Amino acid sequence: MFKVLVADPISELGLQKLYEHPDIQVDIQTGLPEAEIIAIIDQYDALLVRSQTKVTASIIQAGKKLRVIGRAGVGVDNIDVPAATKAGIIVMNAPDGNTISTAELTFAMIMASARKIPQAHQKLKNGTWDRKSFVGVELRNKVLGIIGFGRIGTEVAKRAQAFGMKVMAYDPFMTPEKAEEVGVQAASVNEIVEAADFITVHTPLTKDTKHMISTPQFAKMKRGVRIINCARGGIIDEAALFEAIQNGIVANAALDVYEQEPPTDSPLVGLEQVVVTPHLGASTEEAQINVAIDVAEELVNVLTEQPFKNAVNLPSLPQEVLKSVQPYLELGEKLGLLLAQRIRGRVQSIKCSYAGDLSKISVSPITRTLLKGILSYHYGEEVNYINAPLFAEEQKIQTSEIKSGKHKVFTNLIHVEVTTDEQVYSVAGTLFNGLGPKIVSLDGFTIDANPTGTMLITEHTDTPGIIGQVGTILGTSDINIGSMQVGRKEEGGLAVMVLGIDKPISVELLHLLRNIRGIHSVSEVNL
């Protein structure tokens, strides 16, 4: 008999799968403080929570029988995932449960902004019959720009097409074949900004997407454009949005998420042109039931040793496989994450090559970590270790896994090559006994760098003075350089430099570095 502790209020309908299973006993004890959970958790095989209970390392350590922790929702920030992984406990979530609810809210926001429904509603509620002030626009034949084309973005596109809208979509992994399949026009962010009548964002919040819609983008937009954000606060620069509304560039905005929540100090909330809701993307009865159903089904699958799909950490592997691949799993994910933050253009293929000792073992788990590192940076919680290969397949990205024999230099080597429609990017890493993971090659240049912390990577012409200029700019900005590696193939040719720096740098500083004569590209990578 397996015992499951449900520590937060969760839909009874969602728990039916657990109740119905003859070998599972469900105990519902909500609102327990950490000490009380620690006192009883050693009795349970599984723990199910929402957002209230903080699953700490102490709880995990006390859960001697725990095999799986389930979160009935998308994020797992209330669960100490590294501690669970170290303890061999699977952590899973329900990334698909709120897809439709968020897509429908987005489209409701599009409708509300087009027809000024909330404003008209409030004025009539206040006793004023006013038809002249609320002339809207039709959606038919308007251009909807979707930035971020994962599951939610795709569902929004389907609804827009049903209303006769023309859809342009940007996604770094969307191929022309994928765009044609779903009937949208693949476009760059700049193309969307210039052509769209409505713009909606559906990306995770990363250093690359923070303020991706800001003053330069608003300056290129059509007058009368409408902006929707039901994804993450901070993707749209709220100060720049306020200014764009004041200047008549943006006719209307509809926001469900904010840079600071609740948005008590945001001037946007007081504008008549802005429709606001309090982060309701997943707030439907169906979504609450769906996330509970999804995670309950996954718990049953784990406990009964059936296939499962929504692990946010690596699933359990046979002991002999785990022993051979475990040292390389972190290296694999970091190589993928490094590439994800450097690539430009639409990804066409990902090739994972293994040499030396790695050619003798099962490398499939390492490939999954590589793909997860690359894809999750752009799609967030939608991608995990289980579904990463399928996700790549859905995006029409060709993936391959190649093994070779001994390497002439290293006893083990992982080499990853990503081809986009603009260029080819590559990185290689190895494990040194006693020294841990190392990056030994970047775009074909030999280097020796630790894949950790914040890294600044430049491509530049190998001429005197460039390295000094970079160091001077960083130094005057109070940014310390902890390590430096430079790689070149020939004197005076192209070179790369990898700096380990003590803290992230600003967009303005990146711009300064890119303007140094002889610098071809600069990217900041956080590992």
| Residue numbers annotated as active site | 232, 261, 279
- Single out the residue of 172, 180, 176, 526 nearest to residue 379, CA to CA: 172
The residue type found at 203 is T
Q: Give me the helices (H) in 204-344, please.
A: 215-220, 238-246, 285-303, 319-340
Residue 101 and residue 284 in contact, taking contact as beta carbons nearer than 8 Å? yes
The residue type found at 182 is V
At 481, phi and psi to the nearest 5?
-95, 120
Neighbours of 426 (CB within 10 A): 18
Which residues, including other chains, have CB under 8 Å from residue 33's CB and lie 6 or more apart?
A: none
Quote the tokens at residue 419: 């081809």
Query: How many angstroms separate the first and last alpha carbons of the chain?
Result: 41
Q: Which helix H or strand E contains 1, and what residues bound it?
A: none
Cis upstream peptide for 262 (omega within 30°): yes
From residue 68, alpha-carbon distances to 30, 36, 51, 71, 516 in Å are 18, 19, 16, 10, 51
- Look up tokens 């009964």; give the residue: 304
